[in-house]
Structure 1
Amino acid sequence: MPRRLPPLSTLKAFEATARLGSVTRAADELGRTHGAISRQIRALQDHAGLPLFEKAGTGLRLNPQGETLLQVVGHALDQLEQGWQQVLDEARGPSVHVACSATFAMRWLVPHLPGFYRRHPQVRVRLSMTSARDIRHQGADLVLAWDRLSYPERDQARAIRIADVAFGPVCASRYPAAVKRKRLTCPARITHEHTSRAWTVWQDNSGLQVTHKKELSFPHTHLCIEAALSGLGVALVERRMVVDDLAAGRLVAPCGFISFADGLAVVPASERASSPAARAFMAWIADELSEQGRRP
């Protein structure tokens, strides 16, 4: 019996448009024209015999039927993506797909990966970038994160803590930041656009308050670090991300670093999170982070 489904291309166009909130951005992601995506959406609505979007100013938003369909289609496409990647990975040998922030990947994980490959030369690690606002993780098996507030409760509950983290304000060595009477005073405070609560947590844990005349924000931690290196202000970052800059004197930490209770955790994101390759990666990274934490 043939499956009673609309053309899969229309479902892909619908999911991308609904997820990105824009026909234009969906067209860019799928490598199609704006008109082609619009036609796919019209074809899907004609096939269903009902609208899935409604006008919202100059854009579109999902109606209740569209919201229901998005949950179904998004879940199905995620499973297809994971299944497809699993077939490819199994054909290439043992592997684990890890998602983490670009800053953690560039400044810590990739430089330490040779140690993993020496211990497990037969396992291939695939990396993809994620952020506090992007929790789809692109079919990853494991997600590394310390800010998990925006994650679904189910993901927060099954997160496996693997290391302590310590955050502190950092700035260029000659930047005019001063600590006096339980107060850090600086011309500009640098914040991460999607994890701005870190400053609040740091103030609560350190007992220090921050006084600043202006605030700069950036969408990625590595941009916050670069801004601090350039003398634009004081950024709040995890100690491991700037250890080399501190050692070289490019940055200073006027208040030191304060532990954050949640720590760094691994969030299982697929059925392959319990595979031998995934377990090997989790054991290795926990050991490596712990060993680095014991170094002066």
Structure 2
Amino acid sequence: MRWSALPPLNTLLPFEATVRHASMTAAARELHVTHGAVSRQIQNLERALGVSLFVRGARTLRPTPQARQLAAVVRDALDQIDGAARQISRRTPAGPLTLSCEPTLLMRWLIPRLPDLTESVPDLTVHLSAGGGPVFFERDGIDLAIRRDDFALPEEASRTRLFGERIGPVCRPDLASRLTDGAGVRDAVLLHTGTRPRAWDDWRGITGLGAEPVSEQTLEHFYLTLQAATAGVGVAIAPYAVVHDDLERGQLVAPFGFVPDGTSYHLLSRRPPEREERVGRLTSWLLARTAGLESTADSAGSAV
């Protein structure tokens, strides 16, 4: 036999899923088999290799370093097989691509650009889903996700950087004349959002501007905070991408410009874009549309 060191091939799918989820139960759910079936295949693999692949606790299952190394190779091999099968298959992939995106970026940047996506990639159907935080492709039934890297992104996901985050105060044009310095920020009504409660503190830390405000108001979601800023209620800290169109229309201004906060947005996918044609086309479109965001953010408003 040419591949004499190969373990039983039917053990590799349950093994890879178990390492990825750190759970036999989750692996069994993904593969639509029983927990016992996954457990038996893991035992068969361990016997074939002569090593233990997991540290088993009362309620925990932790892959060993050797298990993680093997799982990464298995995952790469499965991706290559899947990609080759897709290339030679005559079947058209069923259904749309499901893209999960953080809600405010989805509402204020991505959705307004859907007509351009339809025109630029006419035979690609995308289903949009609002979501943030950790990404679970199988559990949530999604193919891709746009996330900011303010938390640990999944190791097994393919990652394409889209743009760096730039933040800055925004307000209605008639309020901007009061915000000439840190004192002006202090005297304004500062708008906060429950999903990014430290946004103003982050901006102060980066720029060194601003004193404690005399008036503040907190809204539950970012898009509500930005709507309040557009209505003239006060001044909000905003990421450039989500207010880009408001700035272009003159509904909002950025009197201090925008500064990088050290985070970036990434497109996460189950497999690399070059291995799935539809994912590759959507990735190319997103890269083309986000290419200028950082440079235009740097020139927006007045420099700090």
- Name the TM-score class by shorter chain: 0.5 to 0.7
Aligned to 1:143: 145
Q: Contact between 1:162 and 1:265, CA under 8 Å: does it hold in 2?
A: yes
**2:224 aligned counterpart, secondary structure:** helix
Please tell me the residue identity of whatever aligns with 1:264.
Y
In structure 2, the residue matched to 1:209 is: 210
Determine the structure 2 residue equivalent to 1:172: 172
Within 2, Cα distance between the matches of 1:72 and 1:105? 34
Matched residue SS, 1:191: strand
How many aligned positions are there?
Answer: 214
Per-residue CA deviation, residues 206-240 of structure 1 (Å, 9 max, x unaligned), is: 23234312332223221111111222221111223
Alpha carbons 1:186, 1:233 under 8 Å: kept: no
Partner residue, 1:37: none
**Counterparts of 1:179 and 1:76 in 2: how far apart (Å)?**
60
CA distance in 1, matches of 2:31, 2:196: 29
Q: Which residue of 2 aligns with 1:265?
A: 266
Cα distance in 2, alignment partners of residues 140 and 111 from structure 1 = 21
> Which one-letter code corresponds to 1:262 in the other structure?
T
Q: Aligned in 2, Cα 1:173/1:262: closer, same or farther, shift over 3 Å?
A: same
Structure 1 CA distance, aligned partners of 2:156 and 2:226?
Answer: 27
AA aligned to 1:102 is P
- Pairs within 5 Å for 1:92-111: 92=95, 95-111=96-112
Between the aligned partners of 1:145 and 1:210, the Cα distance in structure 2 is 31
Question: What is the alpha-carbon distance in structure 2 between the residues aligned to residue 79 and residue 216 of structure 1?
Answer: 48
SS of structure 2 residue aligned to 1:209: coil
Shift of 1:191: 1.9
- 1:143 shift after superposition: 1.4
Map of 1:91 onto structure 2: 94
Q: Name the CA distance, whole Å, in 1 between partners of 2:132 and 2:281.
A: 24
Aligned counterpart, 1:160: 160
Contact 1:164 1:263 in 2 (8 A): yes
Structure 1 residue identity aligned to 2:154: R
- Residues 188 and 98 of structure 1: CA distance in aligned 2, closer, same or farther (over 3 Å): same
Are residues 217 and 181 of structure 1, via their aligned partners in 2, closer, same or farther at CA, if it must alter by over 3 Å?
closer
Give the whole-Å Cα distance in 1 for the aligned partners of 2:218 and 2:135.
21
Report the CA distance between 1:285 and its aligned residue. Answer: 0.6
Residues in 2 aligned to 1:76 and 1:219: alpha-carbon distance in whole angstroms: 38
How far the C-alpha of 1:129 sits from its partner, in A, is 0.1
Whichever structure has more strand as a proportion of its residues is 1
Question: Structure 1: any 5+ residue segments left out of the alignment?
Answer: 1-70, 81-88
Whole-Å Cα distance in 2 between the matches of residues 201 and 237 of structure 1? 11
CA 1:153–1:164: 2 relative to 1, 3 Å: closer
Who is 1:276 aligned against? 277
Contact 2:186/2:214 (<8 A) preserved: no
Query: By how many angstroms is 1:280 displaced?
Result: 1.7
Deviations along 1:64-105, one digit per CA (max 9) or x if unpaired, are xxxxxxx6666666777xxxxxxxx9334xx42211122222
Residues 256 and 195 (structure 1), Cα distance of their counterparts in 2 relative to 1, 3 Å cut: same
Q: Write the distance in 1 (CA, Å) between the matches of 2:31 and 2:152.
A: 18
Scaled by the length of structure 1, what TM-score is found? Answer: 0.60
TM-score w.r.t. structure 2 length? Answer: 0.58
Match of 2:230 in 1: 229
Q: CA deviation at 1:253?
A: 1.5
CA apart distance, 1:290: 0.8
Q: Deviations over 1:171-206 (max 9, x none)?
A: 123337523258732342222212223333322222
Unmatched 5+ stretches in structure 2: 1-22, 33-91, 300-304
152-161 or 219-228, which deviates more: 152-161
Deviation, 1:255, is 1.1
Change beyond 3 A, Cα 1:111–1:201? same
Partner of 2:131: 130
